[in-house]
Chain A
Amino acid sequence: MNNLQHFWQMVYKDIRLEWRMKHAIGGMLLYVISTVFIIYSSFIQLNPKEWNTTFWIVILFAALNANAKSFSTEPPERNLYYYSIVDPLSYILAKLIYNSLLLIILSGVTILVYFFFFGNPIREITLFVTALGCGSFGFSVVFTFISAISMQAKNSALLIPVLGFPLVLPLLMTLIKISASGLALLSDTSVWQDVGLIVAIDLVLVSLLIFLFPYIYKA
């Protein structure tokens, strides 16, 4: 019971912290809007294929921006303090839940901005939203793990994309394929099998994150 309380307190703490630092959340929104604006001014009109690809790239970098800093916003001593009062499971789960919530909200914003600028080419909304949800969650898992690792290494800002991008690439490629069938770019009867694959990867990665985190954080 105690752990559960700790967990919610940590999530609540992160949200409050984010809310207090309005420039951070504003910066992320600004990132999304300005990227989309750059895409708009260079493409003017997007056919569904370009829509799909650029959309996922924006999401990828949003994930990088939003989640990479998850362990570095607060000073390391304070992280250590949290670690000593709550158990690692609820600590990492709180980070993960908070990160994925943030990213899901950001991808919601991105998709609205995309609708506003480029229109809505989505044919199968359930499929697309499922892909978006699972994908954002998977990105959050990977980047939370990577930011936990790179926080302890030197020049962590450089390390995060280097370590993270190869890891999310298989996820990203499968997601682009799924959402391509959501946009009716290709007809694939076994697309839900791919969704199942994504869910399976997500679950495995989450369990690995939970298992490995105590070892990363031992110091």
Chain B
Amino acid sequence: MTWWKYICIVLILLTTAAGILIPLKPGLHSVSQSSIKTGEQITFTVQGYNTYFEEAKNNRAWLRIGSDYQILASNHTPLSEQLLEVTFSIPPFLPIDKEATATTLIVDNAIDGAMVLPSAVFITQIDDWTPKGIEWWQKNPLENITINDKVSFPNRNILEETIRNLFFHVTLWFAMFLMFLISAIYSLMYLVKGDPMYDTKAYSITQTGIVYGILGLVTGAIWAKFTWGQYWSWDVKQNMTAIAMLIYFAYLILRNSVEDLDQKGRLCAAYNIFSFVAMIPLIFVIPRLTDSLHPGNGGNPGLGSEDLDNNMRMIFYPAIMGWFLLGMWASQLYRRYETIYQKHLEDANQM
């Protein structure tokens, strides 16, 4: 039975290649000026990412307030593919009666499609507000927006290219959880049927699961260092998974402190099932009850249900399957080693 190993190889190769090679959607990174006053004529540069400002030529830029009011830039000069110089003449009045407001920058061209940078520029109202402002801001509505339908990953502000870690970091967790689940099922089967093979299976799968867990923590820590600033940020999910790892280390310790094989099997199987159930609220319930820094939690830019777009989904689920199968493969090797080793021990005892 090796067909699933070929599937594993194909899945991992394909998803890794796709996860590395598919480009990020063109996006806006930053603007050179963050606050301006009404009535000013202002020129600033927009830093784009993966954009083609020079090649596209028909760049247009808007500053937008809410969903109804916007002004069109009067001049667009691409300095390079990534840099665009835009000039806005800000009307003397804002369209809403506020002292200052955040505006969204929208840049559109034929190649990149529409790109949005929320809260790009703050505009301060100098004079007293009059409703005349509304007219100024409605002259140039957003029209003829290009839709970029090339295959790409979403470009999020803080995540940027690390959104690809979805296929390398997050999949590890899912695969780990699947493996612990299967390990608990084997432990249950061992208790019910009493065949030592099930116990060995459960043990080897747990070991690979722990390797995946440690890799998940390490990859997460590397990412956290360059996103949140330190390797360990005491985030809920980090804490919880660290505890889950402790539980499974305890499982290994228990395994090493019982000598009788039959007894070892029963105790470890019982502990494995118990700890798997104790782990469910740990990883799936408690992190949802408290805020986390992780993408997709409370106000962070990230991968909520509407953020995980279809392109990523199409790679994400096969990637989970691939890493899971790789884990099963590794644990199968370990299990085969363990079986031979135990047989060898028995033979040695008989002699």
Contact = CB atoms under 8 A, between A and B. Distances in A.
Given A193-B289, A215-B270, A219-B263, A167 B278 contact: yes
Given A159-B253, A166-B250, A197-B281, A149 B243 contact: no
Interface string B242-284: 0100110110011001110011001101110111011101100
Majority SS of interface residues in chain B? helix
A107 B81 CA distance: 68
Given A159-B254, A215-B266, A216-B270, A173 B286 contact: yes
B348 interface: no
A119 B262 CA distance: 53
A152 B257 contact: no
Contacts of B191: 212, 215
Majority SS of interface residues in chain A? helix
A54 interface: no
Contacts of A209: 274
Given A152-B267, A208-B274, A170 B286 contact: yes
A149 B289 contact: no
Contacts of B239: 173
Nearest to B245: A166
Given A205-B274, A212-B270, A149 B247 contact: no
A218 B263 CA distance: 9
Given A163-B271, A166-B246, A152 B258 contact: yes
Given A154-B257, A190-B289, A208-B277, A149 B271 contact: yes
Contact of A163 (B254, B285, B290): B254
A5 interface: no
B240 interface: yes
Given A166-B247, A218-B266, A174 B271 contact: no
Interface in B219-235: none
Instruction: Report the 5 A-B pairs with minimum CB-CB distance, sorted nearest first.
Output: A166-B246, A166-B247, A212-B270, A170-B282, A153-B258
Interface of A: 142, 145, 149-150, 152-155, 159, 162-163, 165-167, 169-170, 173-174, 177, 190, 193-194, 197, 200-201, 204-205, 208-209, 212, 215-216, 218-219
Given A163-B253, A204-B277, 18 more contacts: A142-B278, A149-B254, A149-B267, A149-B271, A152-B258, A154-B257, A166-B249, A166-B275, A169-B246, A170-B281, A177-B289, A197-B289, A205-B277, A208-B274, A209-B274, A215-B191, A216-B270, A219-B263
